[in-house]
């Protein structure tokens, strides 16, 4: 009976895919099987397999519609293509937990000072300067706040010592609850900086990432920070001056399909991604796109290197909305070493 059901379902899938196929490579069901194989997707039942295939088809339509509308940036199939948008939101965003934080945000040291005479180049990329570790993956844990904080901490330590050390996100997940963070339930980058002021930060090797809430462990701190700086909100010019000095922790809204399926190019302001901040990332540079001449920010995400441009996204810079693309200029900060 089970074999008969499997044969009927396989035939049904084949018939469904016939309506979409133009050639063998365009067959959506073959694409779905390749997707499952590439991302090691395993479903518990035939019913779940059917459900995920239908979601895949719905998302494929979103991707294809976008890519045929002459946008400057592209969408593509990725690890999230079998997820509904509400599922995507639940497992990959909402880790920036500003509303739930029970600790007030305090500027401890007004270190960042600029003037109208400050000049910056047209492009700057901390990945090319050696200040950025390889892209990491937060997995199904709302720990983006920790990855954002660690990105700027790693950059600051490199600029101080010339050493690029991968630092521990898990330590911040497990140990910073007294500072207002809530582990895989979310947190704030500034709360992480407050923790590191008092307790220091350990290496990834010493305290590896597990993508779960665990008991806080002892480890040998690599360094402490002196303070942190909150950059003037809603001012992309000030943000550019800051990231020219070092990588910066920022928050964005990342719960829309534009992020779920982003593949390449400069995400433009026409994407309407919103300003309801829900995701922490690390700003590592800026530049001008050679094809479109659009000014962009370069941002390191924490969804693995298979997402976006090898784990990065470029977002349009100096737009008319003062909050910046997806709210990126609303809440930015960076650590200050001794």
Give catalytic residue positions. Answer: 144, 279, 301
CA–CA dist 82, 243 (Å, integer): 35
Helix (H, G, I), strand (E, B), or coil: what is residue 283?
strand
The answer to whether the beta carbons of residues 154 and 131 sit under 8 Å apart is yes
Give 252's strand partners. 279
Provide the 3-class DSSP secondary structure of residue 313. Answer: strand
Q: Say which residues have a Cβ less than 8 Å from residue 315's Cβ, sequence separation at least 6.
A: 266, 267, 296, 297, 299, 325, 326, 328
Residue 18 sits at φ, ψ, to 5 deg, of: -60, -35
Alpha-carbon span 63 to 258, nearest angstrom: 9
DSSP 8-state symbol, 251:
E
Q: Which helix (H) or strand (E) holds 82?
A: none
- CA dist 75 and 55 (Å) reads 16
């Amino acid at each position: 009976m089970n074999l008969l059901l499997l044969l009927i379902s396989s035939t049904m899938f084949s018939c469904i895919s016939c309506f979409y196929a133009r050639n063998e490579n365009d067959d959506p069901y073959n694409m779905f099987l390749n997707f499952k194989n590439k991302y090691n997707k395993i479903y518990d039942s035939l019913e779940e397999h059917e459900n995920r295939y239908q979601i895949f088809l719905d998302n494929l339509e979103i991707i294809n519609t976008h890519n045929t509308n002459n946008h400057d940036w592209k969408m593509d199939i990725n690890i999230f293509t079998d997820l509904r948008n509400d599922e995507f939101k639940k497992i990959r965003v909402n880790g920036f937990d500003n509303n739930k934080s029970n600790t007030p945000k305090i500027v401890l040291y007004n270190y960042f000072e600029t003037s109208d005479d400050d000049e910056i180049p047209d492009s700057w990329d901390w990945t090319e300067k050696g200040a950025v570790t390889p892209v990491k993956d937060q997995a199904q844990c709302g720990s983006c706040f920790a990855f954002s904080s660690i990105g700027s901490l790693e950059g600051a330590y490199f600029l101080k010592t010339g050493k690029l050390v991968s630092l521990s996100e898990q330590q911040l997940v497990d140990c910073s609850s007294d500072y207002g963070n809530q582990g895989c339930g979310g947190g704030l980058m500034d709360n992480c900086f407050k923790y590191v002021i008092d307790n220091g930060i350990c290496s990834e090797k010493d305290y590896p990432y597990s993508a779960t809430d665990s008991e806080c462990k002892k480890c040998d701190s690599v360094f402490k920070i002196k303070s942190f700086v909150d950059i003037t909100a809603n001012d992309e010019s000030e943000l550019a001056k800051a990231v020219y000095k070092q990588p910066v922790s920022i928050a964005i809204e990342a719960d829309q399909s534009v992020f779920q399926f982003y593949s390449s190019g400069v995400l433009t302001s026409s994407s309407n991604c919103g300003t309801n901040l829900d995701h922490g990332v690390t700003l590592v540079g800026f530049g001008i796109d050679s094809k479109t001449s659009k000014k962009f920010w370069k941002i390191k995400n924490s969804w693995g290197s298979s997402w976006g441009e090898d784990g990065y996204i470029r977002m349009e810079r100096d737009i008319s909305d003062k909050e910046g693309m997806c709210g990126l200029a609303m809440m930015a900060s960076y650590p200050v070493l001794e």
